[in-house]
């Protein structure tokens, strides 16, 4: 009888303590992205001819390949020897992090590993902006400045450089979308304190802009 109780207690312990811990550890594993395809796309001048803002999105998801290509175009590593990126940054700070809000989770793009780190397994798209389409579009990128990488002490320069560096990334996203027939809009109309709180950002992390990406509404 005593032995049976001990076995039951062990099973209960495994079910309540160990199994959920293992499951949540598995959930936290980064999602490896497919290798970005760097040989496609339309010629630059044609892309510039069609670059535009659109606010009408279909709910259709982006494939992992398209997401990988998008993130690489946005701010991926294009010179592996130096670790430099597809967009410039002041003093090569590389201080802008790209968070990716989808229906499945909030991720953080890791350019070096070409992976998405899971920040939270929750759909926070609605928090990424005050416009209705953010909830239904498949991807909302959130550009977050990591001020711990910003070495200037001048507060005006901090604002100027983090905003400029975000602009370059955003334009890369615009150009990629124009090339791929995707719709996109960069956005500043965001309740930033609410979003920063929801994302669990540190005081030295600031949301600069967000950018919605998806297929055009048919």
Ligand X SMILES: Cc1cc2nc3c(=O)[nH]c(=O)nc-3n(C[C@H](O)[C@H](O)[C@H](O)COP(=O)(O)O)c2cc1C
Interacting residues with ligand X (CB under 6 A): 52-53, 55, 131, 185-189, 209
CA dist., res. 185 & res. 182, Å (int): 10
**Taking the complex as a whole, how short is the minimal distance between the CB of residue 196 and ligand X, in angstroms?**
16
Residue closer to ligand X by CB (options 41, 167) is 167
Q: Which residue's CB atom is positioned nearest to ligand X?
A: 189
Strand (E) or helix (H) holding 11: helix 2-13
Residue closer to ligand X by CB (options 53, 154) is 53
CB 85 within 8 A of CB 77: yes
**Taking the complex as a whole, how short is the minimal distance between the CB of residue 53 and ligand X, in angstroms?**
3
Residue closer to ligand X by CB (options 118, 163) is 163
CA dist., res. 23 & res. 75, Å (int): 31
**Taking the complex as a whole, how short is the minimal distance between the CB of residue 85 and ligand X, in angstroms?**
20
**Taking the complex as a whole, how short is the minimal distance between the CB of residue 173 and ligand X, in angstroms?**
12
**Taking the complex as a whole, how short is the minimal distance between the CB of residue 187 and ligand X, in angstroms?**
4
CB 165 within 8 A of CB 157: no
Residue closer to ligand X by CB (options 54, 117) is 54
**Long-range CB contacts (< 8 A, 24+ apart) of 186-189?**
186/53, 186/210, 186/211, 187/128, 187/129, 187/131, 187/134, 187/211, 187/212, 189/129, 189/130, 189/131
Residue 163 tokens read as 């905003």
Residue closer to ligand X by CB (options 116, 175) is 175
Residue closer to ligand X by CB (options 52, 65) is 52
**Taking the complex as a whole, how short is the minimal distance between the CB of residue 154 and ligand X, in angstroms?**
21
Q: What are the residues facing 1 on neighbouring strands?
A: none
Distances (CA, A) of 35 to 13, 64, 72: 41, 10, 9
CA dist., res. 144 & res. 139, Å (int): 16
């Amino acid at each position: 009888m005593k032995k049976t109780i001990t076995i039951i207690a062990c099973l209960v312990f495994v079910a309540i303590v160990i199994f959920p811990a293992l499951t949540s550890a598995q959930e936290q594993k980064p999602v490896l992205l497919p290798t970005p395809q760097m040989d496609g796309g339309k010629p630059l001048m044609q892309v510039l001819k069609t670059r535009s803002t659109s606010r009408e999105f279909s709910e259709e998801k982006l494939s992992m390949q398209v997401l990988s290509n998008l993130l690489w175009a946005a701010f991926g590593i294009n010179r592996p020897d130096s670790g430099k990126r597809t967009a410039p940054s002041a003093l090569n700070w590389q201080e802008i992090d790209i968070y990716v809000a989808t229906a499945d989770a909030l991720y953080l793009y890791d350019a070096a590993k070409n992976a998405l780190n899971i920040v939270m397994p929750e759909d926070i798209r609605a928090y990424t902006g005050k416009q209705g389409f953010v909830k239904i579009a498949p991807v909302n990128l959130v550009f977050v400045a990591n001020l711990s990488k910003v070495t200037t002490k001048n507060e005006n320069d901090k604002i100027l450089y983090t905003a400029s560096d975000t602009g370059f990334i955003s334009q890369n996203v615009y150009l990629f979308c124009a090339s791929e027939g995707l719709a996109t809009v960069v956005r500043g109309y965001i309740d930033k304190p609410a979003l920063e709180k929801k994302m669990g950002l540190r005081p030295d992390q600031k949301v600069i802009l967000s950018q919605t990406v998806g297929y055009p509404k048919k």
